[in-house]
């Protein structure tokens, strides 16, 4: 059971937060799988400013969402952990940092300013909970057979389509349903399609055909969203491999397996990390492992949490971009 005590955790500094961490243990009755993990978040700096960071911790202290959260929850049932970076209907482009120690979530910066994704009519912000699978890496040296493009040097992205708006930094257990293959400025950028196992529809949705049945129009809208979302920023329309068709769950699972193996090679120093921080606090025997105490020191050296920066009204502008 993942419990985020956001109301308290999001308000204070680390010292306060560590005393509020969650130790809940509970089983999901719907899936019969017992999750005995407990993650919470630590906000540092001022939201919507360049110094803002969201660190993730387990019951012992700080961890890296990229390296310390296990990828697999139940391989038979296709259930994986997912780190939420951008809650549905928000615009701030928050992402796991690759190069910073402990890989906190921060807002992407563009021309020196925190980046907000444009609203393209009729969409508002991201139209799903958006995030990444831990312990995965899209190797930029690897040429994908299917797409003919190389990886984008990030963990693999996930769109979570359940009804609930998740929280930034939340760790969800999701079922993988399929994938679409965005080609973003020439790089393969898989977008896995997933659903929170706690969603009331989760048991009825197992593959992309079920998505179209229960969420009619969402797959089409998702492809459109990725095609146009950078156009207001002056970028060209994005392309999709496989003609924009969603690949089934079986295909998606093979991709997940591949990017997990790339991640393993990365943290085991079998490939050059080229600046990616592989620091972790839980992988036994790993060359990049540090102590919880050292990890706490890392966070304590960052600016304490302060009030969010005012977001300019222009971020709310609706752009009328239509595909031909």
Binding residues (CB under 8 A) for a copy of itself: these are: 88-89, 121-124, 127, 163-165, 214-218, 221, 313-314, 316-318, 320, 322
Nearest to 128 by CA among 172, 105, 161, 80: 161
Tokens of 63: 């961890």
- Measure the CA–CA gap between 100 and 26, rounded to whole angstroms: 33
Least distance (Å) from a copy of itself to the CB of residue 176? Answer: 20
CB of 162 to a copy of itself, least distance (A): 9
Question: Which CB sits closer to a copy of itself, 32 or 313?
Answer: 313
Residue with smaller CB distance to a copy of itself, 2 or 183: 2
231 burial type by CB count under 10 A (0-12 exposed, 13-18 middle, 19+ buried): middle
Longest dimension (CA), the chain: 56
Other beta carbons less than 10 A from residue 58's beta carbon: 19
Contact criterion met (CB below 8 Å) for 288 and 280: yes
Place of tokens 């193996």: 261
23 or 322: whose CB is closer to a copy of itself? 322
Least Å from the CB of residue 196 to a copy of itself: 11
Alpha-carbon span 6 to 206, nearest angstrom: 30
**By C-beta, is 156 or 161 nearer to a copy of itself?**
161
For the bound state, the minimum distance from the C-beta of residue 121 to a copy of itself, rounded and expressed in Å, comes to 6
CB of 88 to a copy of itself, least distance (A): 7
């Amino acid at each position: 059971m993942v419990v985020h005590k956001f109301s308290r955790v999001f308000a204070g500094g680390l010292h306060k937060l560590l005393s509020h961490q969650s130790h809940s243990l509970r089983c999901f009755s719907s899936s019969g799988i017992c999750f005995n993990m407990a993650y919470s978040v630590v906000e540092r700096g001022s939201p919507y400013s360049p110094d803002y960071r969201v660190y993730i911790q387990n019951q012992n202290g700080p961890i890296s969402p990229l390296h310390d959260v296990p990828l697999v929850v139940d391989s038979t049932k296709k259930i994986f952990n997912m780190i939420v970076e951008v809650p549905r209907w928000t615009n701030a482009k928050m992402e796991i940092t690759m190069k910073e120690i402990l890989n906190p979530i921060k807002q992407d910066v563009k021309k020196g300013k925190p980046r907000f994704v444009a609203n393209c009519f009729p969409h508002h912000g991201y139209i799903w909970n958006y995030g990444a699978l831990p312990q995965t890496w899209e190797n930029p040296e690897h040429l994908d057979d299917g797409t003919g493009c190389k990886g984008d040097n990030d963990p693999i992205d996930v769109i979570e389509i359940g009804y609930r708006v998740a929280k930034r930094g939340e760790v969800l257990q999701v079922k993988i349903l399929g994938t679409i293959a965005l080609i973003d400025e020439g790089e393969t950028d898989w977008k896995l399609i997933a659903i929170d196992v706690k969603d009331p529809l989760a048991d009825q949705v197992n593959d992309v055909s079920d998505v179209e049945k229960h969420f009619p129009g969402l797959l089409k809208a998702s492809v459109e969203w990725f095609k146009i979302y950078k156009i207001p920023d002056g970028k060209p329309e994005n392309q999709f491999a496989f003609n924009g068709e969603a690949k089934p769950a079986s295909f998606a699972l093979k991709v997940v397996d591949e990017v997990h193996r790339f991640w393993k090679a990365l943290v085991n120093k079998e490939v050059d990390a080229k600046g990616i921080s592989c620091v972790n606090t839980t992988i036994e025997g790993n060359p990049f492992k540090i102590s919880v105490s050292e990890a706490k020191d890392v966070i304590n050296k960052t600016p304490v949490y302060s009030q969010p920066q005012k977001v300019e009204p222009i971020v709310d502008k609706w752009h009328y971009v239509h595909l031909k």
